[in-house]
Copies of this chain bind each other. A is one copy, B any other.
Amino acid sequence: MLLTILDYTGTFVFALSGAAAGVRQRLDLFGVLVLSFAAASAGGILRDLLIGALPPAAIRDWAYPALAGVAGLLVFFCFPLVHRLRHPVQVFDAAGLALFAVLGTQKALLFDINPLAAAMLGIMSGIGGGMLRDVLLAQVPQVLKAEVYAVAALAGAAVVVAADALGLPPVAGVAAGGLLCFVIRLLAIRYGWRIMTARWPGTGDGND
């Protein structure tokens, strides 16, 4: 029950991030709605496909497309409100990342997937929506370039797996992991945390 509410929340915030990215690229209303749904649902659909939970919740349950639609309309018609948040796409994206990374891990554990695979699935469902959003706008996904992105999802998923191994109630692991992932990501944005980049002579000289 709580997990479903958190899943709806993650859907909503990722939809906000997709819609905000779409409005910035001057897409029309339906383009914005398609992008909302893609960003909101791609991670969860990928997770459900991979654990064989078919049809995926994001298709079966009308609340997912409805939430994505509401988020899309909200951003489209009230963009100035959304815009007040300094980096709306990134903040909503961080919240969606945190929620989906921990919920994806938890759902995979419920399907008797082993812990390492569950964490992988959590990370994939956390980053899937944002990746599709960026790919559809013909941009290199944030996850590949951004400061401390995949590592935040990894931290959140690890907490969920550890809580499960310790026999703690799922909600504790999900709450702690989600909070950790969200805070790491926000701090990384705020302070521009960067992980090292390889800078070898000879890199970046074309597509050899």
Contact = CB atoms under 8 A, between A and B. Distances in A.
Interface stretch (A20-28, A164-172, A174-182): A20-28
Interface in A176-208: 194-204, 207-208
How large, as a class, is the contact surface on chain A?
35 or more
Given A30-B151, A32-B198, A59 B23 contact: no
Contact of A120 (B23, B29, B31, B59): B59
B55 A52 contact: yes
Contacts of A80: 200-202
B30 A149 contact: yes
Given A59-B121, A121-B59, A138-B138, A203 B34 contact: no
Nearest to A112: B55
A204 B27 CA distance: 10
Contacts of A76: 198
Contacts of A22: 144
Interface in A24-49: 24-35, 45, 49
Contacts of A195: 28-30
B200 A144 contact: no
A-B interface, 4 closest residue pairs, ranked by CB to CB distance from nearest? A52-B54, A31-B144, A28-B195, A30-B150
22 contacts: A22-B144, A23-B200, A24-B207, A25-B144, A28-B195, A28-B196, A29-B196, A29-B198, A31-B143, A33-B150, A34-B144, A45-B50, A50-B59, A51-B55, A60-B113, A62-B114, A79-B200, A89-B207, A135-B136, A136-B141, A138-B138, A138-B139
